[in-house]
Chains A and B, each alone.
Chain A
Amino acid sequence: MFGLKGSDFALFLVVAVLTLAAPFILNPFPETSSLAQFNGGYPDLMQRFVIFGIFAIGFNILFGLTGYLSFGHAAFLGVGSYAAIWMMKLLTMNVIPAIIMSVIIAGLFSLVVGWISLRRSGIYFSILTLAFAQMSYALAYSVLTPITGGETGLQPKLNDPRILDAAPEGGRIPQANLFGLDMGESRVWNVGDWAFTFNAGYYVAAVVMLVAFYLSIRIFRSPFGMMLRAVKSNQQRMNYTGLNSKPYTLAAFVISGMYAGLAGGLLVAMDTQVGPERMFWTASGEVVLMTILGGVGTLIGPVLGAGFIKYMENILSKINTTVLEGWFAFLPDGAADAVVAVLGLFVGKGWHLTLGLIFMIVVIFLPGGLVEGGRRMFRGRDRTATRKVKSGQTPPTSKPAE
């Protein structure tokens, strides 16, 4: 269906259903219960899930398929964001031109960066992309202030031209919208103690993500995707067979840059602001984290990783010592204090520590990420079953299909 194989179509369908039903799935706890703080179903967080999902899907097309580890992808996200905010300032608050422009500009920028960086491979490539991203960040912070707003960043202002829009009424800065549908608009549906929030912005972003996910499946299954895998497994042999790998890697780089730009444009469409810290190299590190955590080179991995990290970021950083004290109040005083002091290191402002630890554990024990972990659990069960049937035969040790 839609040019997808049966299993791929099933995967796509599962992702689509999960994404569209996210306001229910992410809100499993009633508002009145003490577990309500673990609910992830509020618009801001759900938007981040899908937007960073797009970012990670795009990064995976480069890193997962070709093996080129870029440490500067946040630059494309940032450039896309700036392009989008300028469309909102100059043209219209409708998100369509903003998103289209962000993809185009990020694509052009990644074409330049990729054309230069892809002359080298391995760690040199990583350092080159890092250098470009850091340069963009430093320039956005200092010299390019007239374009980027420097440290304060950019927001739509009242006196912006916005030539396609009618003049704003009543001195209110107009909201980002899709042909009149306000991105910030939410409908809340109360069922008993549960409150499900349906946000227009989230659904726009979710539909974009599904399209992006569909495209990524098509790329993975296409002859082009096969070429990119060939680059990863043995570039030299590929060159010896008379194929020039450069156009393929460059195309992959530009595609993933465009995905990053798309994510940047969507971020602006949701919160209509942008600052240079979006391009800092830790932001590039974060998308690497998401992809690795979910599973490099798998279809669903990056989306899972992005969701996992953004969920942890939002939920863990909300837990503070007061909350912890509430949980452990049943313990004797001394023990409770000790437990709170230890756990306090890992939550609230210290959630990066948890992130770093999870990251190390995943790289050490589970290089394939969450997807690999899930697969191992299922396969482990299968293997014990086969062993029982054919005792004495070694189970197949071939690599799992990507």
Chain B
Amino acid sequence: MEAILLQILNGLDKGSAYALIALGLTLIFGTLGVVNFAHGALFMIGAFSAVTLSRLLSTSYTVIDESRTDFLGNPLKVEMPYLHDWFGPEFGQAIINWSVPLAILFSIPIMVAVGFAMERGLIKHFYKRPHADQILVTFGLAIVLQEIVKAVYGANPIPTPAPPAFSGSFDFGALIGFDPLQIMYPYWRLVYFAFAILIIGAVFAFLRFTTFGMVVRAGMADRETVGLLGIDIDKRFTIMFAIAAVVAGLAGVMYAPINSPNYHMGMDFLVLSFVVVVVGGMGSLSGAVLAGFLLGILESFASMAQVIEVVPGINQIIIYLVAILILLTRPRGLMGRKGVMEE
């Protein structure tokens, strides 16, 4: 029982990331009808905006501390962040430590700008082109974005720690009545899961309960009629693209402490997220979220030592295997709608 619970918990953080990326992909596909292969790159840009903010905040100058000496006997050189000067050492350090959550605010304008630029500058011209062309041009864009990040930040992963308050693990088992020290779970992963639920809830609520969301849903169902009613649906869809970009970006920001950002993280997640979207059903938002969590948890179960002993290598291929099975038995995915991408 403990083992099962532990695997479910372990699958949640990856599942959250899959669900958030797949949600954005489905939003873009549902509204604009575009298959966006550059969505993983948006996730990566989000993660790197966290890196950028943490670097910006810890910008420092060198002071010579006469009271201490290094091992050669020279006065010690100390890196002094500007924030320590401005806000005092304690509060300044606290801001630096909390750079990842702060990056949420920092990344939103970046992601909105990137989203707008992508949609208006490139994807707009591909509405009428075949899906293959859309896939190819966004694939090219993904390569370009990835290489730019590589040129700026280098090829190595950049560790980006979570705030100290959330470092370490807590005893989840003791909390719900199991033996203590059986189920240890890192705080930050719980934060990530809660954050993902919050974002997913916010997107669904936005679509369900606001006038804007209603118009967008109407546009997803019948774009032409909504246009004939005198509503500028293209503008709303552009905004939805930016929202999808923000969702992917925030997923990336919060993922930075879990997995140190590197330039190819976007591509790694993209391939799996596409599988997730297809399993969930092209065009179904709830399907994407459900499939994201399901596949994340399945992957974590497949990595259990007992399972690998029986079926070696299953942890590497489980997601693809499930995708093949689902596509062959339920061609529209778990919750796919009729008539989406069936030509």
Contact = CB atoms under 8 A, between A and B. Distances in A.
Interface stretch (B64-72, B136-144, B190-198, B225-233): B136-144
A123 B282 contact: yes
A309 interface: no
B4 interface: no
Contacts of A355: 143
B271 interface: yes
Contacts of A116: 324, 328
Contacts of B139: 285, 359
Contacts of B122: 360, 364
Given A69-B135, A138-B316, A353-B148, A122 B343 contact: yes
Interface in B125-165: 125, 129, 131-133, 135-137, 139-144, 146-148, 150-151
A186 interface: no
Contacts of A350: 147, 150-151
A67, A123, A132, A281, most chain B CB atoms within 10 A: A123
Contacts of B282: 123-124
A323 to B, nearest CB: 18
A126 B131 CA distance: 11
B307 interface: no
B323 A367 contact: no
Interface in A91-133: 116, 119-124, 126-128, 130-132
B129, B131, B144, B275, most chain A CB atoms within 10 A: B144
Nearest to B316: A138
B132 A67 contact: yes
A353 B148 CA distance: 7
A135 B343 CA distance: 27
A359 B137 CA distance: 7
Contacts of B267: 282
A75 B98 CA distance: 44
Interface string B299-343: 000000000000011001100110110011001000000000111
Given A359-B136, A360-B140, A131 B320 contact: yes
A363 B328 contact: no
A356 B137 contact: no
B320 A122 contact: no
Contacts of A67: 132
Given A69-B132, A292-B136, A363-B137, A356 B327 contact: no
B269 interface: no
A123 B341 contact: yes
B227 to A, nearest CB: 25
Bin chain A's interface residue count: 35 or more
Given A128-B327, A288-B136, A350-B151, A360 B320 contact: no
B146 to A, nearest CB: 8
B35 interface: yes
Contacts of B150: 350
A139 interface: yes
A18 interface: no
B188 interface: no
A360 B324 contact: no
Given A139-B316, A143-B313, A292-B136, A131 B147 contact: no
B146, B148, B323, most chain A CB atoms within 10 A: B323
Main secondary structure of the interface of B (DSSP, over half): helix
A288 B138 CA distance: 13
A214 interface: no
B297 interface: no
B103 interface: no
Nearest to B312: A143
B327 A120 contact: yes
B320 A356 contact: no
A367 B136 CA distance: 10
A29 B38 CA distance: 40
Contact of A123 (B35, B137, B142): B35
Interface string A341-356: 0000100001011011
Nearest to A127: B278
A142, A285, A356, most chain B CB atoms within 10 A: A356
B320 A120 contact: no
Contacts of B131: 122-123
B266 to A, nearest CB: 13
A353 B144 contact: yes
A132 B324 CA distance: 8
B275 A131 contact: yes
A353 B313 contact: no
A135 B322 CA distance: 11
Contacts of A126: 135
Interface string B269-285: 00100110010001000
B58 to A, nearest CB: 25
Contacts of A345: 148, 151
A124, A138, A288, most chain B CB atoms within 10 A: A124
Interface in A345-397: 345, 350, 352-353, 355-357, 359-360, 363-364, 367
Contacts of B140: 356-357, 359-360, 363
A245 interface: no
B144 A360 contact: yes
A143, A144, A288, most chain B CB atoms within 10 A: A143
Contacts of B133: 363, 367
A203 interface: no
Nearest to B137: A363
A397 B19 CA distance: 46
Contacts of B320: 131-132, 134-135, 138
A309 to B, nearest CB: 13
Leading 4 A-B pairs by shortest Cβ distance: A143-B313, A356-B143, A138-B316, A353-B147
Given A138-B313, A360-B141, 16 more contacts: A119-B328, A120-B327, A122-B131, A123-B131, A123-B341, A126-B135, A128-B324, A131-B321, A135-B321, A143-B313, A144-B313, A282-B267, A285-B139, A356-B141, A356-B142, A360-B137
Interface of B: 35, 122, 125, 129, 131-133, 135-137, 139-144, 146-148, 150-151, 267, 271, 274-275, 278, 282, 312-313, 316-317, 320-321, 323-324, 327-328, 331, 341-343
24 contacts: A119-B327, A122-B343, A131-B275, A131-B321, A134-B271, A135-B316, A135-B320, A139-B313, A142-B313, A142-B316, A143-B312, A143-B313, A282-B267, A292-B136, A345-B151, A350-B150, A353-B144, A356-B141, A356-B146, A356-B147, A360-B122, A360-B140, A360-B144, A364-B122
